């Protein structure tokens, strides 16, 4: 029998993951109580069904896809329903978490009798027939979640215990999103110094690949910055044995918090970043 899957929550990533599976004929459940009109519309477009927490717990596989600061809270929220059901699901935490945080989530889930699998998403919202988005899995029961590869997802299994998939996510995002933070800081510094155009010209000439990557990624960052704050904090914990690296990612978290506030408010720094990345006619 095809598995019943629950995806929480129906954000941009969660709804795209759900859509891949509903296109393959799976029933995908979610929690919609109290959600806004935009979220409800996104869930409907993805073919997701709003149900109760008890019905979430009765799914075969639960995928937790949330801002990282909400991951432990969701496990604690669902714990009573998971404990009450006789049909114990496989709970996959797909969030950007330090392995130590993942183990705390696992402890909550496993105390209910449910099975826990560590997950880490690399790439944007998945598209049809593409393997560009990977949901890495790890832990002794990873194969139980990897069955979803039959239903539109790409879920490579990493060797290692619970925490290995999250370590992959932390190190990858630490480079890509950490580098985006570094680039944003220097773009804004050059703008304040009045040397933005000179910096653009030099980067385009001497570092074309770097310039192309930054100017492509930076405009996509503004609307995501609020989610990246907790992610940078998790990465700071991940590199915690290296105090200098931890300070860098703590600083990146502060920068993303400031960019997120600016994006919702005056749009001064985000406008400066957009201007830096704009191509001349």
pLDDT, residue 142, reads 98
Say whether both 115 and 249 belong to one domain. Answer: no
Indicate if 171 and 152 belong to the same structural domain. Answer: no
Residues 14 and 125 in one domain: yes
Are 133 and 243 within one domain? no
For 42, the domain range is 5-161
Q: Which regions of the chain are under pLDDT 70?
A: 281
Give Cα separations from 236 to 18, 80, 161, 243, 280 (angstroms). 30, 31, 21, 9, 37
At residue 52's C-alpha, the angle toward residues 7 and 231, to 5°, is: 35
Q: What is the pLDDT of residue 281?
A: 54
The dihedral of CA 259, 263, 269, 272: what is its sign?
positive
Q: Which CATH number covers residue 131?
A: 3.40.50.720
Task: Judge if 93 and 214 occupy the same domain.
Answer: no
Task: Provide the pLDDT for residue 70.
Answer: 95
- Please say which residue of 161, 182, 210 terminates a domain: 161
Tracing tokens 């949901």 back to the chain, one arrives at 135
- Assess whether 178 and 57 both reside in one domain: no
The CATH number for 185's domain is 1.10.1040
Quote the distance between the C-alpha of residue 22 and its chain's center.
Answer: 21
User: End of a domain among 161, 190, 220?
Assistant: 161
Phi, psi at residue 63, to the nearest 5°? Answer: -110, 115
- Are 18 and 154 within one domain? yes
Give residue 129's pLDDT.
86
Residue ending a domain, among 161, 185, 217, is 161
Query: Exposed, middle or buried by CB within 10 Å (0-12, 13-18, 19+), for 67?
Result: middle
CA–CA dist 38, 36 (Å, integer): 6
The verdict on 138 and 180 lying in the same domain is no
Assessment of whether the complete model's pTM goes beyond 0.75: yes
- How many structural domains are present in the chain? 2
pLDDT at site 280: 72
């Amino acid at each position: 029998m095809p598995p019943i899957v629950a995806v929480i929550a129906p954000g941009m990533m969660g709804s795209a993951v759900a859509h891949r599976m509903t296109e393959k004929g799976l029933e995908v459940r979610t929690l919609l109580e109290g959600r806004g009109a935009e979220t409800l519309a996104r869930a409907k477009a993805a073919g997701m069904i709003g149900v109760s927490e008890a019905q979430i717990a009765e799914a075969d596989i639960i995928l937790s896809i949330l801002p990282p600061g909400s991951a432990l809270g969701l496990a604690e929220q669902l714990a009573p329903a998971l404990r009450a059901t006789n049909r114990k699901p496989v709970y996959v935490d797909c969030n950007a978490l330090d392995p130590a945080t993942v183990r705390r989530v696992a402890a909550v889930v496993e105390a209910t009798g449910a099975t826990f699998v560590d997950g880490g998403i690399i790439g944007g919202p998945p598209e049809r027939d593409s393997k560009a988005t990977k949901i890495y899995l790890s832990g002794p029961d990873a194969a139980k979640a990897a069955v979803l590869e039959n239903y539109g997802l790409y879920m490579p299994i990493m060797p290692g215990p619970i925490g290995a998939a999250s370590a992959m996510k932390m190190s990858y995002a630490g480079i890509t999103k950490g580098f985006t933070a570094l680039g944003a800081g220097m773009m804004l510094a050059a703008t304040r110094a009045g040397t933005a155009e000179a910096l653009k010209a030099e980067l385009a000439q001497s570092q074309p690949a770097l310039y192309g990557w930054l100017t492509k990624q930076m405009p996509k960052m503004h609307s995501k910055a609020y989610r990246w704050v907790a992610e940078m904090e998790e990465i700071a914990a991940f590199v915690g044995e290296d105090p200098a690296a931890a300070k860098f990612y703590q600083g990146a978290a502060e920068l993303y918090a400031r960019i997120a506030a600016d994006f919702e408010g005056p749009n001064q720094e985000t406008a400066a970043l957009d201007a830096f990345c704009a191509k001349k006619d």
